[in-house]
Amino acid sequence: MTPGKKGILERLDAGEVVIGDGGFVFALEKRGYVKAGPWTPEAAAEHPEAVRQLHREFLRAGANVMQTFTFYASDDKLENRGNKVTFTGAQINEAACDLAREVANEGDALVAGGVCQTPSYLSCKSETEVKGILKKQLDVFIKKNVDFLIAEYFEHVEEAVWAVEVLKETGKPVAASMCIGPDGDMHGVSPGECAVRLVKAGAQIVGVNCHFDPMTCVKTVKMMKEGVEKAGLKAHYMVQPLAYHTPDCNCQGFIDLPEFPFGLEPRILSRWDMHKYAREAFNAGIRFIGGCCGFEPYHIRAVAEELGPERGFLPAASEKHGNWGAGLEMHTKPWVRARARRDYWENLKPASGRPQCPSMSAPDGWGVTKGHTDLMQQKEATSQDQLKQLFDRSKSH
């Protein structure tokens, strides 16, 4: 811990609002530093300047957690399905920790080391094997002395519990965040029960991230909170949702949408949607509020601006952003100056500009999860024969 900084639990215990950062994987894919498909974070070692700059933009926007860019940095994911990287998992994880710490030290931010679900679990490997994979990442986080740990993006509570058990061995604060919606995990375990299991495993902060839009995620965390309180347990709560509208998603979330991942832009939330999300999350008793895929720094700035009264300050990036569009007072066109008011932006219903497109989609529903042969992973690249089988099957859904 950097001298003089309060830790994550100290901040949450005091009722402070902690703002997370955004979706590094999607943001860096759009910038040309991450490959869609494997979604692995070797950019931390290959292009540290890009990762550092994105950290700085989120810090300037108001985030006070710099999460290490270690999503899918487990050894089994780095070498899954023919993925080839020139750095080891340890090198990527170490570089990510150094970058997060460097930028965190430029402000009042903490560094969170993150692990997520593994191909090994989907392939039905044992608890010992899965924990061994996670522990390799954890060894780097201990070496680099991150401030706290996050087990995030888990579809199955069983694997999330295993991750918490591994992270707890460090004695550092542990947050656990699942990528589930109101229907629960992929084996039907309810959000409330998932949260109870995670708290009992040792997580002090529980919540959800990714897969669903902000309001759906807030609803899910409310269900977690109810379950924890009903069980007579205590925890802090976090939420880091998508920046995409997902009213048509099923239990698998946005990866089942036909637009995933290259056609999601029409679903993006506006900065004003983020104000509503931040307020809804705060009113639900959630105090660790951030974002995941699709979140850009301006989205996090909107969260920080909405919660400015509670935090007692605005982020540095607000120097270039008039409150509720106030900067438009300086526009040359009078009809644009007329939009420099809160009620205009708060009540706007944005058009997509796509008259031939539907407002919602029909998600794919293959109905497979851990334990199904279709989700068995492999080191070898996906073969043309395997792809043909998938193409043929997709036509029948």
Q: Which residues are annotated as a binding site?
A: 210, 292-293
Assign 3-class secondary structure to 11-42.
HHHCCCCEECCCCHHHHHHHCCCCCCCCCCCC
Q: Which residues sit opposite 111 in a β-bridge? A: 66
Sign of the CA dihedral with 91 first, then 35, 273, and 208 last = negative
CA dihedral 134, 136, 138, 139 (to 10 degrees): 160
Q: 244 — phi, psi (to 5°)? A: -120, 140
Q: Cα separation of 195 and 203, whole Å?
A: 9
CB 66 within 8 A of CB 146: no
Q: Cα separation of 286 and 254, whole Å?
A: 23
DSSP secondary structure code for residue 66 in this structure: E
Pairing of strands 110-116, 174-178: unpaired
The arrangement of strands across the sheet holding 110-116 comes to 18-19, 288-289, 236-240, 205-209, 174-178, 148-154, 110-116, 65-67
Which positions ≥6 away from 188 have C-beta within 8 Å? none
Q: Cα separation of 167 and 316, whole Å?
A: 33
Which residue type is seen at 96? A
CB 195 within 8 A of CB 228: yes
Which positions ≥6 away from 178 have C-beta within 8 Å? 153, 154, 155, 157, 160, 185, 194, 198, 207, 208, 209
Binding positions for Zn(2+) are 210, 292-293
